[in-house]
Amino acid sequence: MLEEIREQPAVLERTIGAEREKIGRLGTFLRGREIDLIVLVARGSSDNAAQFGRYLLEVTTGIPVSLSAPSVFTLYNSKLDLKRALVVGVSQSGEGTDINTVLTTAKESGAYTLGITNEAESTMASIVDEVLLIHAGRERSVAATKTYTGQILHFYLLAQALGAEGLEIETIPSLTSHALDREAVVRDLVDRYTFMENCVVVGRGMNYGNAYELALKLMETCYVVAERFSTADFFHGPLAIVERRFPVIMFAPDGKTTTSSLDLLSDLERLHADCLSITNDESIATASPRSIMMPSMPEILTPIPFIVPAQLFAAYLSAAKGIDADAPRSLSKVTKTV
């Protein structure tokens, strides 16, 4: 897991270079097609990447985005009118049975289909109209890291293909490399959390998907019961679970979500919570009992760099708990559900 976390800048750089020409062709095609709706279909970490994709695509293109419920197709056999839709499947392996069923049905319903996957020879790649490949090499760890950030990268590239401007995608590998410089800081932090059994992870907007992803990593590699919420939603009831020394981990970048992050930190201070913030905002770092300070960057570019210290946190915490992060109990790399 640690090795694959460290590979991410190179994977991102390689993916941009290898897919750039294809993205250009795809953009010309998609901008000439009437698309009223984008539907994203995924499970697990891929679904967390899709959560980010929803925010990014709606904010930068103005096209409504829906996260598909695969059971609508696989259990209830519903037929949707998708003639003016772009349907995007997201899967590390490309072998998720339910994801591929949705893609097949969507294509039959008139949708244009895309697949985002790490496997060029996968079932997904053979189903979709176009495949966007993550050039990550084989991912051996059960916990997805480099394929998760590769999927997020492809949402930036897709947004660009649909006409989004000024995303500065070329800077993402370098920002991710700088994020890896926080490894020693993270390693020194985890001892405090060795006996953590429960926590909450919060994030909002562009980092909402990251809140889900870190919670998943903590559950699967550290066996921590981790709930995840939007920073805004956390005020609507869940705040009641917080008591003295309760761990709360926040994705709190400088930008549109700063005010809500500071408001939540104020409440968490009153409740004497144990709060750890991943941030590049000095006011948030000052208000947090503990923080991982990140480099300055536009909020829209924070999701990939900000997940890196979170991945490192899960990997080192797993080791501190005496758990093998590469072989978590009850799990396998490819999960097939219907």
Full DSSP string of 54-68? HHHHHHHH---EEE-
Helices and strands in the chain: count of H runs, count of E runs: 13, 10
Q: Where are the domains of the chain?
A: 2-167, 174-320
DSSP reduced 3-state for 89? strand
pLDDT at 46 over 90: yes
To the question of domain 2-167 being in CATH 2.60.120.920, the answer is: no
For 40, phi then psi, to 5°, come to -110, 135
Is the model's pLDDT at 123 over the cut of 90?
A: yes
User: Could you tell me which residue, 315 or 73, shows the higher pLDDT?
Assistant: 315
Domain 174-320 falls in which CATH fold?
Answer: Rossmann fold (3.40.50)
Cα–Cα distance measured from residue 278 to residue 251, given in angstroms and rounded to the nearest whole number: 5
pLDDT for res 267: 87
> What integer is the mean pLDDT of 308-324?
97
2-167 shares its CATH topology with 174-320: yes
Cα within 13 Å of Cα(192), Cβ side: 14
Query: Tokens 């093998």 correspond to what residue?
Result: 324
Q: What is the tens place of the pLDDT at every residue in 182-221?
A: 999 999 999 999 999 999 999 999 999 999 999 999 999 9
Triad 300, 151, 323: Cα angle to 5°: 105
What are the tokens at 66? 């829906």
Phi/psi for 47 (5° steps) reads -70, -35
What mean pLDDT do residues 61-65 have?
97
- Asked whether the predicted pLDDT for residue 333 surpasses 90, the reply is no
How would residue 69 be classed by pLDDT, with cut points 50, 70 and 90? confident
Q: What phi, psi does 313 have (nearest 5°)?
A: -60, -45
pLDDT at 6 (0 to 100)? 98
Residue 271 pLDDT class (50, 70, 90 cuts): confident
